[in-house]
Structure 1
Amino acid sequence: MENSLFLTFSSFLFVIHFVPLAASTPSYLSFLQCLSKHSHPSDHILSRVYTPNNSSYKSVLQHYIRNQRFNRSTTPKPDIIFTPLQESHVQVAVTCCRKTDKYLKIRSGGHDYKGISYVSNISFVLLDMSNLRSIDVDIQNETAWVQAGALLGELYYRIWEKSKVHAFPAGVCPTVGVGGHITGGGYGNLSMDYHKNFLPLIFS
């Protein structure tokens, strides 16, 4: 077997910080109500919701905007930013977007320089995966479970901690999100030579 780790990718989603809802639209309210209804109170899911009324909304939105062309006041922005902390949060977010007919965009590392993951002319919810970034490397089986918000640099480092002869064939930029890279948005110098390493990916 080639000395390159197969990567098993666990796709998680993110939820958002709750804010005053005085100026909310009906669909906005129904989405938040749905989150609350389909989650356990102990999850505090609404604490992961950020709306334009929240003082942290702007900083959360801008944190992974890599192209300043889309960091302008005129750029269309999400109605809600959802930053989940656990897999169940992601499941609820997807469910509630479907139930309330909200457009969903998912951002991992924000390296889509066209702003595809965080810009839309249609009203949308931004699912920000940056808090879901655990990495579990199994050298014996040559696999790794990686959450969607982890960055390539973090993955490389965790592999290096376990082995000096294993690697994952991705790119040279350490801030690219694993989620976007693996689902087809990225490439690396070794991708063509070791492209078969992507075949055993399992999404959950």
Structure 2
Amino acid sequence: MKFGYARVSTDDQSLDLQREALQAAGCDRIFEDHGISGADFSRPGLSEVLKTLSPGDTLIVWKLDRLGRSLLDLVETIDALAARKIEFYSLTESIDTRSPGGRLIFHIMAALAEFERSLIGERTRAGMKAARAKGHHLGRPPALSESQRLEAVLAIRSMGETVNSVAEKYNVHPRTIRRLLGKAPGGAHYPTTIHPLG
């Protein structure tokens, strides 16, 4: 069977052009997303058609950008269809995985997507390296400041408070406090007792 998928990004756009093209292509059923951008992760119509497709079926779209949010996303979606023995056809670009020419174009797209993926990886690694060189902390900010971490450890080791009570006091998970009972930043042990001043 042939299944069509149509999408427009805003409520004031019409699906008529896509519907007519998909009907002319012989689609037995058309699934739609209306007023949903390609960047939106929740596309009910697309999810429904992907669940409906069976081996031997063909998914048809009016244009490639109706299916994928990016080249990477598009290639991954078509790859997933191929793994399920489902063909893909884009009317505007005349990409039909049922034909040798269509498969060739898709393989070129896949190569470009892999190249883009490697470039993104290189840029990410370079950015992280530059951030570390400048002394910037990567990842989520710590849940507690250095003084709070010290206070929490001393409360448990010197004052006999429980991990859970200290975690509740600082509004963090007990796991966070348990990690503090290991070592201080830089590898030094947190003190186990409070030394009197003077």
TM over 0.5: no
What TM-score results when the alignment is normalised by the length of structure 1?
0.24
Greater helix share, structure number: 2
Instruction: Pick the structure with greater CA Rg.
Output: 2
